[in-house]
Structure 1
Amino acid sequence: MKRILSLWMLIGCCLMQTVKLQAQDISKMTISIELKNVTLAEAFSKIESLTSLKFNYKTADVADVKGITYQQQKVAVKKVLNDLLSNTSLQYEQLQQYIIVKKRPQQPAGKKGKLSVTGMVKEAITGEPLPYVNIAIAGLPGGFVTNAAGLFTIHDLPDTTVLIFTAIGHQLVQYPLYGAQAGSVITVEMKTASRDLGQVTIAHKKSNTFKLNQQPGMLKLSVANIATLPRIGEKDIFRSFQLMPGISAGNEQSAGLYVRGGTPDQNLILFDGFTVYNVDHLYGFFSTFNANAIKDVQLFKSGFDAKYGGRLSALAEITGKEGNRNHFNAGVDLGLLSASAFAETPIGKKITALASFRRSFKTPLYDTLLNHARTDKTSLDNGTVKLDRARGTTKLVSGFDDMNVKLTYRPTEKDGISASFYHGKDQLNNHIEAESDENTAFFTSTTDNTQWGNTGASLKWNHKWNAELFSTALISYSNYFSDRTANTRQILVDTIQGDKIIETGFAENNDLKDYTLKAGFEWMPNATHTISGGIQLTRNHISYQYIRNDSLAYITRDSKGNTNAVYIQDKLRLLNGRLVFTPGIRISHFDATSSLYHEPRLTVTYDLSSNIKLKGSAGQYYQFAKRVIREDILNGNRDFWVLADNEKLPVSSSRQVMAGASWENNDLLVDVEAWYKKLRGLSEYTLRYQPNPDRAEYEELFYEGTGYAQGIDVLLQKKFGKYTGWIAYTLSTVKNNFPVYGPNNFFASNDVRNECKIIQMYSLKRWDFAITWLYLTGKPYTAPTGGYQISLPDGTIRNLLIVSDKNTLRLPDYHRLDAAVNWHFGKPGKRNGTIGLSVFNAYNRRNLWYKNFQIVTSQIVESNINYLGITPNLNVSFKWR
Structure 2
Amino acid sequence: MSRSLVLLLLLGISFHIQAQQKFTISGTITSKGKGETIIGASIIAGQFGTNSNEYGFYSLTLPEGKYKVIFSAVGLQSQEKEITLTRDQKLNIALDDEVKDLEDVVVTATSRGRSLTNAQMGVERLSTKEIKNIPVLFGERDILKTVQLLPGIKSAGDGNSGFFVRGGAADQNLILLDEAPVYNASHLLGFFSTFNSDAIKDMTVYKGAMPAQYGGRLSSVLDIKMNDGNNQDYNVSGGLGLISAKLNVEGPLQKDKSSFLLTGRRTYADMFLKLSSDSNINNNKLFFYDFNAKLNYQLGEKDKIYLSGYFGKDVLGVGETFGLDWGNTTATLRWNHIYNNKLFSNTSVIYSNYNYNINIRSGANKFDIFSQIRDWNLKHEFQWFAGNKNNVRIGLNTIFHNILPGRVTADANSGINSSSLQKRYSWENALYITDTWKMTPKLNVTYGLRMSAFSILGKGDFYNIDADGKVTDTLSYGRGEFVKTYYNPEPRVAFSYILNPRTSVKASYVRNTQSLHLISNSTSSNPTDKWIASTNIIKPEISDQVSVGYYQDLIKGQLELTVEAYYKDMKNQIDYRDGADVFSNSDAIESQLLFGKGRAYGLEWLLKKTSGKFTGWLSYTLSKTEKNIPGINNNEWYNARQDRTHDVAIVGSYQLNKKWVLSATWVYYTGDAVTFPAGKYRINDQTIFYYTERNGYRMPDYHRLDIGATWTLKAKKNRLSELSFSLFNAYGRENAYTINFRDNENDPTKTEAVQYALFKFIPSISYNFKF
Contact 1:267–1:316, Cα closer than 8 Å, also in 2:
yes
Question: Matches of 2:386 and 2:637 in 1, distance apart?
Answer: 50
- 1:665-684 matches, within 5 Å, as 665-684=556-575
Pair 1:663 & 2:552 matched = yes
Output the amino acid matched with 1:570. D
Cα offset for 1:115?
A: 5.2
Question: Matches of 1:830 and 1:344 in 2, distance apart?
Answer: 13
What's the secondary structure of 2:233's corresponding residue?
Answer: coil
Question: Matches of 2:270 and 2:135 in 1, distance apart?
Answer: 19
Residues 1:112 and 1:474: Cα distance change in structure 2 (over 3 Å): closer
Cα offset for 1:163?
A: 4.0
Gaps of 5+ in 2: 1-17, 274-278, 457-483
Q: 1:594 aligns with which of 467, 485, 500?
A: 485
Cα offset for 1:659?
A: 0.9
- 1:622-633 matches, within 5 Å, as 622-630=513-521
Question: Matches of 2:92 and 2:606 in 1, distance apart?
Answer: 34
Q: Which residue of 1 aligns with 2:3?
A: none
Question: Matches of 1:507 and 1:746 in 2, distance apart?
Answer: 38
- 1:542-557 matches, within 5 Å, as 542-545=403-406, 556-557=421-422
Cα offset for 1:181?
A: 7.2
- 1:391-540 matches, within 5 Å, as 395-431=283-319, 447-485=321-359, 509-540=370-401
What's the secondary structure of 1:706's corresponding residue?
Answer: strand
Output the amino acid matched with 1:289. F
Cα offset for 1:422?
A: 0.5
Output the amino acid matched with 1:766. K
Residues 1:194 and 1:746: Cα distance change in structure 2 (over 3 Å): farther
Question: Matches of 2:768 and 2:359 in 1, distance apart?
Answer: 38
Output the amino acid matched with 2:497. Y
TM-score, scaled relative to structure 1: 0.74
Pair 1:121 & 2:25 matched = no
Q: Which residue of 2 aligns with 1:357?
A: 264
Pair 1:781 & 2:669 matched = no
Cα offset for 1:552?
A: 9.0
Cα offset for 1:505?
A: 10
Cα offset for 1:416?
A: 0.9
Cα offset for 1:546?
A: 7.9
Q: 1:642 aligns with which of 519, 529, 532?
A: 532
Residues 1:359 and 1:181: Cα distance change in structure 2 (over 3 Å): farther
Deviates most, 538-547 or 561-570: 538-547
Question: Matches of 2:158 and 2:231 in 1, distance apart?
Answer: 38
Output the amino acid matched with 1:660. G
Q: Which residue of 2 aligns with 1:750?
A: 642
Question: Matches of 1:841 and 1:701 in 2, distance apart?
Answer: 39
Residues 1:841 and 1:208: Cα distance change in structure 2 (over 3 Å): farther
Output the amino acid matched with 2:671. G
Output the amino acid matched with 2:430. A
Cα offset for 1:171?
A: 3.1
Contact 1:112–1:159, Cα closer than 8 Å, also in 2:
no
Question: Matches of 1:150 and 1:182 in 2, distance apart?
Answer: 22
Contact 1:197–1:827, Cα closer than 8 Å, also in 2:
no
Task: State the aligned residue count.
Answer: 705
Residues 1:179 and 1:596: Cα distance change in structure 2 (over 3 Å): same
Residues 1:182 and 1:251: Cα distance change in structure 2 (over 3 Å): farther
Question: Matches of 1:558 and 1:800 in 2, distance apart?
Answer: 37
Residues 1:209 and 1:159: Cα distance change in structure 2 (over 3 Å): closer
Q: 1:268 aligns with which of 168, 174, 181?
A: 174
Residues 1:208 and 1:468: Cα distance change in structure 2 (over 3 Å): closer
Cα offset for 1:242?
A: 0.8
Question: Matches of 2:689 and 2:415 in 1, distance apart?
Answer: 24
Cα offset for 1:674?
A: 0.5
What's the secondary structure of 1:283's corresponding residue?
Answer: helix
Q: Which residue of 2 aligns with 1:772?
A: 665
Question: Matches of 1:278 and 1:474 in 2, distance apart?
Answer: 22
Question: Matches of 2:638 and 2:64 in 1, distance apart?
Answer: 57
Pair 1:574 & 2:439 matched = yes
Identical aligned pairs, as a percentage? 31
Question: Matches of 2:362 and 2:730 in 1, distance apart?
Answer: 38
Contact 2:578–2:632, Cα closer than 8 Å, also in 1:
no
Pair 1:810 & 2:718 matched = no
Q: Which residue of 1 aligns with 2:107?
A: 202
Q: Which residue of 2 aligns with 1:130?
A: 38
Cα offset for 1:550?
A: 7.1
Gaps of 5+ in 1: 1-109, 368-390, 433-446, 490-502, 792-796
Q: 2:541 aligns with which of 652, 666, 684?
A: 652
Contact 2:64–2:85, Cα closer than 8 Å, also in 1:
no
Question: Matches of 1:696 and 1:571 in 2, distance apart?
Answer: 45
Q: Which residue of 2 aligns with 1:819?
A: 707
Cα offset for 1:800?
A: 5.7
Residues 1:657 and 1:324: Cα distance change in structure 2 (over 3 Å): same
- 1:90-105 matches, within 5 Å, as none
Cα offset for 1:736?
A: 1.4
Deviates most, 532-541 or 756-765: 756-765
Q: 2:80 aligns with which of 175, 189, 192?
A: 175
Output the amino acid matched with 1:518. K
Q: Which residue of 2 aligns with 1:45?
A: none
Question: Matches of 1:815 and 1:196 in 2, distance apart?
Answer: 38
Contact 1:628–1:640, Cα closer than 8 Å, also in 2:
yes
- 1:156-167 matches, within 5 Å, as 156=62, 159-167=65-73
Residues 1:505 and 1:212: Cα distance change in structure 2 (over 3 Å): farther
Cα offset for 1:716?
A: 0.9
Cα offset for 1:531?
A: 1.5
Cα offset for 1:778?
A: 1.2
Contact 1:200–1:766, Cα closer than 8 Å, also in 2:
no
Output the amino acid matched with 1:467. N
Contact 2:122–2:206, Cα closer than 8 Å, also in 1:
yes
- Greater gyration radius: 1
Cα offset for 1:196?
A: 5.7
Residues 1:556 and 1:762: Cα distance change in structure 2 (over 3 Å): same
Pair 1:872 & 2:763 matched = yes
Q: 2:427 aligns with which of 562, 565, 568?
A: 562
Question: Matches of 2:303 and 2:743 in 1, distance apart?
Answer: 65
Q: Which residue of 1 aligns with 2:129?
A: 224
Alpha-carbon displacement from aligned partner over 1:247-304 (angstroms, at most 9, x marks no partner): 1135122112311111221111111121111100111112101111111111111111
Output the amino acid matched with 2:544. R
Contact 2:514–2:541, Cα closer than 8 Å, also in 1:
yes
Output the amino acid matched with 2:133. T
Residues 1:417 and 1:695: Cα distance change in structure 2 (over 3 Å): closer
Q: Which residue of 2 aligns with 1:440?
A: none
Residues 1:631 and 1:113: Cα distance change in structure 2 (over 3 Å): closer
Q: 1:611 aligns with which of 495, 499, 502?
A: 502
Residues 1:780 and 1:194: Cα distance change in structure 2 (over 3 Å): farther
Cα offset for 1:849?
A: 1.6
Cα offset for 1:751?
A: 0.9
Q: Which residue of 2 aligns with 1:318?
A: 224
Question: Matches of 1:164 and 1:606 in 2, distance apart?
Answer: 24
Deviates most, 127-136 or 449-458: 127-136
Alpha-carbon displacement from aligned partner over 1:683-713 (angstroms, at most 9, x marks no partner): 234571579x999987621222321111011
Question: Matches of 2:184 and 2:594 in 1, distance apart?
Answer: 24
- 1:342-381 matches, within 5 Å, as 342-349=248-255, 350-362=257-269
Cα offset for 1:414?
A: 1.5
Alpha-carbon displacement from aligned partner over 1:150-170 (angstroms, at most 9, x marks no partner): 0111112684544444433x1
Residues 1:178 and 1:629: Cα distance change in structure 2 (over 3 Å): same
Contact 1:582–1:602, Cα closer than 8 Å, also in 2:
yes
Residues 1:209 and 1:657: Cα distance change in structure 2 (over 3 Å): closer
Question: Matches of 1:567 and 1:637 in 2, distance apart?
Answer: 33
Residues 1:588 and 1:114: Cα distance change in structure 2 (over 3 Å): closer
Alpha-carbon displacement from aligned partner over 1:165-222 (angstroms, at most 9, x marks no partner): 4433x1351424343575322233333446565653535xx43695668321111112
